[in-house]
Amino acid sequence: MRVRVLILMGAFAPLAACQTAAYQGEASPFMTVPPGSRLILNQELTIPANQVSVHVQNGRVLPGSEVNQYYPSCKLELYSMSETARTVVLQEMTVTRTVQDETTHGALTPRDLVRVAQLGFGLRATLGDQSGPSLHAFSTRMSLRSEKQPDIFRLTCAQWEFPGYGRHVAISEIRRTLEPLFTLRLPAEGG
């Protein structure tokens, strides 16, 4: 009996090793940006008057209405609002905490379903029906500390997906979303 158990364990060990390897590295949605990571701003950003944030997608600052929420995007946020525009200067910020979260957004409208279908999702729906599947926002929130500008609050990177199919934005995707405006350095990367 023991020999059989050992043989079975030996047969399944390579499978377990492959499964674990899939969850490692910065391409994995299960690896979060660790505290102590540094977010380096490579060019000044302007926060418009009466706003507390700017959105970044594909290395560009975009108005919130132009962000495609089905693809990774990030939002740099300040603590307080101002009646005048503010400049976030070139600097290095430290990630003090990272939290991953899922938020459910209501049922899709027919217009949303058409947009999702254009993105290539296989989804059947009746356009006359006003209810549909809900979407989840898969968010990674990084609390930031800045010596130069203490009003800097956090960086949130997210994308919308269908429940059961979604995943958090991986570190490699966060980097691609932010570059060249920002550089993200993990503690292990030094320099």
Q: Give the model confidence (pLDDT) of 66-76 as tens digits.
A: 999 889 999 99
| Mean pLDDT (the chain, rounded) | 81
Task: Say if residue 59 is in the same domain as residue 93.
Answer: yes
pLDDT at site 135:
73
Say which amino acid occupies 84.
T
pLDDT digits (tens, 9 = 90+) for 9-46: 555 455 444 444 445 688 888 889 999 999 999 999 99
Q: And the tokens for 138?
A: 């898969």
pLDDT at site 114:
53
Task: Say if residue 95 is in the same domain as residue 165.
Answer: yes
pTM value?
Answer: 0.73
pLDDT at site 3:
53
Task: Say if residue 40 is in the same domain as residue 111.
Answer: yes
Q: Which domain holds residue 2?
A: 1-30
Centroid of chain to Cα 156: 6
Task: Say if residue 20 is in the same domain as residue 44.
Answer: no
pLDDT band at 167 (very low <50, low <70, confident <90, very high): confident
Task: Choose between 42 and 6: higher pLDDT.
Answer: 42
Task: Say if residue 44 is in the same domain as residue 125.
Answer: yes
pLDDT at site 160:
85
pLDDT at site 83:
97
What is the tally of structural domains in the chain? 2
Task: Say if residue 10 is in the same domain as residue 62.
Answer: no
| Residue 39 to residue 20: CA distance in whole angstroms | 28
Task: Say if residue 21 is in the same domain as residue 77.
Answer: no
| Residue 59 to residue 177: CA distance in whole angstroms | 5
> In this model, does residue 62 exceed pLDDT 50?
yes
Task: Say if residue 3 is in the same domain as residue 96.
Answer: no
pLDDT at site 121:
44
pLDDT at site 190:
74
pLDDT at site 111:
56
Task: Say if residue 59 is in the same domain as residue 124.
Answer: yes
pLDDT digits (tens, 9 = 90+) for 89-131: 999 999 999 999 888 765 555 555 555 444 444 443 333 444 5
| Residue 131 to residue 136: CA distance in whole angstroms | 15
Task: Say if residue 181 is in the same domain as residue 93.
Answer: yes
Task: Say if residue 18 is in the same domain as residue 61.
Answer: no
